[in-house]
Amino acid sequence: MVNWKDILISPSLPIVNAIELIDTTALQIALVVDKNNRLVGTVTDGDIRRGILRNISLEEPVQRIMNPRPTFAKVHDSREIITAIMKLKKLQHIPVVDDDGCIINLESWTDIFQSYNYDNWVVLMAGGQGSRLRPLTEECPKPMLKVGTKPILETILGNFIAYGFHRFYISVNYKAEMIESYFGDGSNWGVEIRYIHEEQAMGTAGSLSLLPEKASKSIVVMNGDLLTKVNFQQLLDFHREHQAQGTMCVREYDFQVPYGVAKMEKHHITRIDEKPMQRFFVNAGIYVLEPEVLELIPKDTSFDMPDLFNKLIQYNCETAGFPIREYWIDIGRMTDFERANGEFTKMFSPGDD
């Protein structure tokens, strides 16, 4: 059991150290205090990811990214009042302070309402042919290729189960019978698994139009050829916090231009940047969608997730980018497959099963 006193940090602590603290404790929050133990801010995973999107270095102090006006409860507030505040503000934690503003406790939603158990549907996209991984995929669909000790798709399933998800759809096409035979109805894993059958290749979003029922909660969608240590609880929290219709996980991608780049104004060269570094956020193949978003997906045709997000943007719907800072690899090529096998034991230990 983590004591709230273990997550008190100074405003000058580097962000990278705050990340380590948040990732290694069950509370998923750090409380920023002054030298007199007075609350001056809070730092959550969401604050860190927003800082990454603003290009703030992880070596900078946490005061650059902390919430300087956190919601808190007073020592005299009843449990009913604290619970009401947490529900109203959709908070997972709330610090409790005395009359001088010094922290005396941290109330946690999980302490009040027990552990997480998500009823959200998770849709795993496993219908692709994996042509770039031939000859490995000539007799086996890519999500069933073994990385480490088990198929890629089983590792993905296990990660979701570890976070409390228990309702799954698997979208299948190429060699679908192998996937259905292996996972069945999910009872061997203590979960519910259903299948979406693509009669043709439908892209990274098209098969969502085949869901036989309308979801009542946010839907998590993930490509079936990824291995990642993303915290899915934090992903859902981020989606809800930003009241997004669609959230896309994004991955930072850097590359260096191997030439001097000329900055031009008409025919004038105004500056030469020698081998500049370019930085982008790229689609990481994991999404959270509100149920009504699925109505924008056309029936019986191939349709990709970028097309869906472009539609959301076109209609001025709220979209969010969730930057992945955890381990992530897209197993699209043979070099990726070999790398994933080399890293599997370190990243996915038996304790993660």
Catalytic residues, by residue number, are 275
C-alpha 278/C-alpha 156 separation (Å) is 31
Asked if 330 and 339 touch (Cβ cutoff 8 Å), the reply is: no
Tell me the CA end-to-end span of the chain in Å, nearest whole number: 22
Which among 89, 9, 81 is positioned nearest to 42, based on CA atoms? 9
CA distances to 29, 35, 77, 103, 179 from 106, in Å: 10, 19, 13, 8, 45
Strands 39-44 and 29-33: antiparallel
Query: From CA 337, how far away is CA 317, in angstroms rounded?
Result: 37
The torsion angle over the Cα atoms of residues 124, 241, 106 and 66, rounded to 10 degrees, is: 110
* Beta bridge partner(s), residue 221: 123, 287
The contacts of residue 275 (CB under 8 Å, 6+ apart) are 256, 257, 258, 259, 260
| DSSP designation for 205 | T
For 1, the 3-state DSSP assignment is coil
Beta-sheet pairing, 328-330 with 8-9:
unpaired
In whole angstroms, what is the distance from residue 19 CA to residue 3 CA? 17
